[in-house]
Amino acid sequence: MIKKIAIGLGVVVVLLLVVIATRPSTFEVKRSLQMGAPPEIVYAHVIDFREWARWSPWDQMDPKMTKTYSGAETGVGSKYAWAGDRDTVGSGSMTIETAKPSEAIGIKLEFTVPFATTNQTDFAFTPAAGGTNVTWSMKGTNDFMGKAFSLVMDMDKMVGADFEKGLATLKTHAEAAAKKAADEKAAAEKAAADAAAAAAAAPAADAGTP
């Protein structure tokens, strides 16, 4: 009886290993959202890691996590590292490796806790009617443990939900920044027009003086 149970368990283990081995060796998570702000404004909120505190979904998950910044102030070479709760945000770092102003950003994403892995994260900013279409994606490879993990956890659903939250918050801040910039531009143009009108009226007033 015990021998039969052992054989049965062995068969189950072998079948499980076969199933895990046949799982996809790569994955990609991608989400997009249109924002009512020009590409340069949305881009500015992503290229500077210090701005991520305003919209990153993970900052909201663990407000107590520690953050450090190194390398360049912004753009290529800038690095952001965090250490937080193991069960929510874990620990890791992001480094900007490529940047095309107002068009694209490439980031190396490295996790150390709860497990070590390295993925590629990209942002694309495409002009659209009335604003910008922003696409946030992450690509990576699945080792054996990653393949096993995919049997019980949907990576696209799990990470995709975070991307959706982040993009929605980014949209709010980018659109507010765009409105502020537009209001300031309109105020400056009005002030310039008023000044020009006043300057033009001054000679006429002087000419009419006895």
pLDDT in tens, the chain (210 residues): 665 555 555 444 444 344 444 545 567 899 999 999 999 999 999 999 999 999 999 888 888 889 999 999 999 999 999 998 887 888 999 999 999 999 999 999 998 888 788 999 999 999 999 899 999 999 876 654 554 454 445 677 878 999 999 999 999 999 999 899 878 888 888 888 888 888 877 665 555 555
Q: How far is CA 171 from the centre of its chain?
A: 11
- Read off the pTM: 0.79
**Backbone Cα Rg of the chain:** 26
DSSP designation for 103: T
At 67, give phi and psi (nearest 5°).
Answer: -130, 140
Q: What are phi and psi of 174, to 5 degrees?
A: -65, -40
Instruction: Provide the token pair at 95.
Output: 């480094």
User: What is the number of other CB atoms lying within 10 angstroms of the CB of residue 153?
Assistant: 10
Nearest to 51 by CA among 173, 184, 178: 173
Domains of the chain, by residue range, sit at: 22-183
Name the CATH code of domain 22-183 (choices 3.40.50.620, 3.40.50.300, 3.65.10.10, 3.30.530.20): 3.30.530.20
Pairing of strands 131-141, 117-128: antiparallel
Residues 118 and 141: beta-carbon distance below 8 Å: no
